[in-house]
Structure 1
Amino acid sequence: MKSFVRLGATLGLVGSTLLGSSFLGNLQALALPAEQVIQKLQTIPVFTVTDAKGSPLVRSIKNAQNKDVSVAGIFISQGDAQGFVDQLKKNNPALGKSVQVSPVSLGEVYRLGQANQNKPDGLNFAFIPKQQQVQSAVNLLRKSGQQVNTFDGTPLFVAKAGKDKGYLTVQQGNQQVIPFFFEQEQLQGMVERFKKQKPELASTVEVQVVNLQGLIQALRDSNKPEINSIVLVPANESMQFLQKASSAPRQAPAPAKPPQNRRR
């Protein structure tokens, strides 16, 4: 598992002092180099199902060109990943007893995805969001007047406020950052603090939802330096995992082995 860098900064972000709103323009006009994209994603733990050797459990599906492709599921929630394993043990005991939930950083998933992007037999990844947050995203879109029944992808929640609808920011060290949350409930706490600090702007607050994959594409493909202000905030469940991981005794890493993908 890749290490999760800047752990303290990430865990402390939710309780940071809110500064206000900062107008940074359209996210589609922003950008970062590949290594900086990986660094931004590195602090987010995600979870996959692997065998005892650490090779991912994959399945073969048809793509848009009707060709077979190998796909590994990437769970945003550790609990959802464990639920999948528990169900697998019931439906396929022989396979279920040989697999486990393994953490990996979102940055590593992104790196592997980029490395496999143009390979005909490369491994693909499918993100599996927490359904409670998907429903929250649907509710937000409906509240804004959109007629939707589902949300495509993994939702991230962000808030804007003020006449120019600038993104709400928090202070992280000497920098103002724009937090994007995997849980709407976390963002709501930040919004409530902002409304108390700036009651004159309370009525202008607007919560928005964006797609994780779309945000990653914006980080990768755009050109303005303000993109460096974006920070992803893990869900509470993931923060608890990070805290446990940071306090656990470190073991010497085992020699790396070539992946031998298990299929189901």
Structure 2
Amino acid sequence: MKSLVRLGAILGIVGCTLLSPSPIGKMSAVALPVPQVLEKLRPVPVFTITDGQGGFFIDSVPKQGEGQTGNASVARIFISQKDAQAFVDQLKTRNPQLAASARVTPVSLGEIYRIAQENKGQPDRLLFAFIPAAQQVQSAKTLLQQTGQQVNELNGVPLFLARGGPENAYLTIQQGEKEELPLFFNKEDLQEMVDLFKQQQPNLNTTIKIEVVNLERILEVLGTENDPSLSQMILVPSRESLEFVRSLQPAGAGQNPQVAPNQTRPAPAASPAPARPAPAPAPARPAR
């Protein structure tokens, strides 16, 4: 059956293996509806910088592309809360007055996606720049270099997944009756799942390998590609991110960042990071 073959080609995964027949593979190939994409992204907390009025802290950068003139408004979206806080701390040193009202605010990745989709095509729309965790970028570079690829710079946010077994199939987790393909923001969290699998299947230890894909590409294909296997994918946030968000919930912390008042075309408000975390990985096994 088709399953992950087309998705693998889009993501540049070499030698992608078919999954065996399953109920989801028998569905007609239709793109995921936007509400389903939003629900898939909603449990993922990311972090932005907001001002005293709860608006996005915006950078003005030159527009890119042929024929583009003027500046674009860009909001930074950090994968790591610690990286976001480090940015605020640096800003306080460089420009204390500007940084006086700056704060780190968690927001759902689903809401960032929704804002981007609703403002697509508008000439003065707010753009988002994802800032990956430096440690995970280095982990991704190391993995790619181990496969013989020459990697000087890694663009975008890396996500990690694993595969192995005699058919080189993807490792999945079982959530109730659903078999899901987890993509981890943190390589170390995936390594725990891989180690558990190796304990369960020691004869397959040498076949398991970790691969890297790109968050931005995943966001692109979720809403555009006609592959039912996309509904099996889940994004697993780092424990650090989930623990930080949980620490805020009892006090009801979190704001709804909006475009700052100086923006000519305001974006919809984004809701705070979700209370429901992404599912914790169950014992892993290669996708059948």
Question: What TM-score do you get using the length of structure 1 for normalisation?
Answer: 0.83
Say if 1:257 and 1:198 are closer, same or farther in 2 by CA, change over 3 A: closer
Q: CA–CA distance in 1 between the matches of 2:57 and 2:259?
A: 14
Give the secondary structure class of the aligned counterpart of 2:123. coil
Which letter does structure 1 place at the counterpart of 2:184?
A: F
CA drift of 1:151 comes to: 1.0
Pairing 1:137-176 to 2, within 5 Å after superposition: 137-176=140-179
Kept after mapping to 2: 8 A contact 1:159/1:167: yes
Q: How far is the alpha carbon of 1:158 from its aligned partner?
A: 0.2
Alpha carbons 1:46, 1:105 under 8 Å: kept: yes
Paired residues of 1:71 and 1:126 also in contact (CA < 8 A): yes
3-state secondary structure, aligned to 2:140: helix
- Structure 1 residue 188 displacement after superposition: 0.7
Secondary structure (helix, strand or coil) at the match of 2:193 reads helix
Asked if structure 2 preserves the Cα contact closer than 8 Å seen for 1:177 and 1:230, the reply is: yes
Greater per-residue strand proportion: 1
User: 1:141/1:258 Cα in 2 relative to 1: closer, same or farther (>3 Å)?
Assistant: closer
1:8 alignment counterpart = none
CA contact (8 A) 1:69 1:124 kept: yes
Q: Structure 1 residues 83 and 258, CA, compared in 2 at 3 Å: closer, same or farther?
A: closer
Give the partner amino acid of 1:35: P
Shift of 1:25: 3.2
Change over 3 Å in CA distance of 1:35–1:147 after alignment to 2? same
Residues 157-194 of structure 1, C-alpha deviations (whole Å, 9 max, x = no match): 00011232211011112211111100100111111111
- What is the aligned counterpart of 1:187 among 172, 186, 190? 190
Partner of 1:53: 53
Q: Which amino acid aligns with 2:52?
A: A
Structure 2 counterpart of 1:15: none
The separation in 2 between residues aligned to 1:110 and 1:154, in whole angstroms, is: 15
CA contact (8 A) 1:128 1:154 kept: yes
1:71-220 to structure 2, matched below 5 A, reads 71-220=74-223
1:32 aligns with 2:32: yes
Structure 1 position 143, deviation (Å): 0.4
Is the alpha carbon distance of 1:242 and 1:258 closer, same or farther for their aligned partners in structure 2, counting shifts above 3 Å?
A: closer
CA contact (8 A) 1:135 1:150 kept: no
- Compute the RMSD of aligned alpha carbons: 2.3
Using the aligned pairs only, state the percent identity: 46
1:64 aligned onto 2:65? yes
**C-alpha distance in structure 1 between counterparts of 2:219 and 2:228, whole Å:** 15
Gaps of 5+ in 1: 1-22
Counterpart Cα distance in 1 of 2:57 and 2:220: 26
Amino acid at match of 2:190: L
Q: Secondary structure of 2:82's match? A: helix
Q: TM-score, normalised by structure 2?
A: 0.77
Deviation string, structure 1 residues 75-126 (Cα, Å, up to 9, x no partner): 1111111111111111101111111111110000011111222011110000
The 3-state SS of whatever aligns with 1:200 is helix
The more displaced of 30-39 and 90-99 is 30-39
TM-aligned CA deviation for residue 200 of structure 1: 2.1
Distance in 1 between residues matched to 2:205 and 2:181, nearest whole Å? 18
Matched residue SS, 1:221: coil
- Structure 1: distance between partners of 2:245 and 2:101: 25
Greater alpha carbon shift after TM alignment, 182-191 vs 236-245: 236-245
Contact 1:58 1:261 in 2 (8 A): no
Cα deviations by residue, 1:204-241 (Å, 9 ceiling, x for unpaired): 11210000011111211122222111111101111102
Change (3 A) 1:200 1:25: farther
Residues 56 and 259, structure 2, Cα contact 8 Å, conserved in 1:
no
Instruction: Single out whichever of 195-204 and 68-77 deviates more from structure 2.
Output: 195-204
